Amino acid sequence: MRLLTHNMLSSNIKGVANGFPLRIEVEKVVEKQVELSADFLRNLFPKIEWKALVDAARTMGYAELAEEVDSSMLDSNEFLNKFHHALLELHLEEGALVCPETGRRFPVNKGIPNMLLHEDEV
């Protein structure tokens, strides 16, 4: 699971008011190189919840992202490289996503988060 996916998912358990961002429990992280597309990153940047990405990347062992950012940084290759790496190259292979309000764990196996709810959570 990429952090791109983490940036979109939230806990939708009945009664939870703010299920985003999900906390990450790491068992195994893998890195896979992919080609960087600067235009793609520039388009995506305004839609990313930045703090969630910074925290998630740090949990996955990557602490290079700046906390404070603005769109002028998209001109810097160094910034784009780091953004790209955190968002698209880090994968949570095994572990869990944890609901920030209830502590309910959604397991991640073979890179696939299981967000299925139990009957009493719908």
Partner 1 sequence: MKLKQLEGLLGDLQQFSNPKAENSFGDVSNKVVADLGCGCGTLGAAAALLGAEQVIGIDIDSHSLEIASLNAEDLELDINFIQSDIKNLGWRGQIVDTVVMNPPFGTQKKGADMDFLFVALKIASQAVYSLHKTSTRDHIKRVALRAFNASSAEVLCELRFDVPQLYKFHKKKEVDIAVDLWRFVPKDNQGKERKDI
Select the residue interacting with partner 1 from 12, 51, 61, 66 (CB under 8 A).
12
Q: How many residues bind partner 1 (CB under 8 A)?
A: 32
Q: Identify the bridge partners of residue 11 per DSSP, sorted by sequence position.
A: none
User: Counting contacts by CB under 8 A, is residue 48 touching partner 1?
Assistant: yes
Q: What is the dihedral of CA 8, 88, 90, 108, to 10 degrees?
A: 40
> Which residues bind to partner 1, rule: CB under 8 A?
1-2, 4-5, 7-12, 18-20, 32, 34, 37, 39-40, 44, 47-49, 88, 110-117, 122
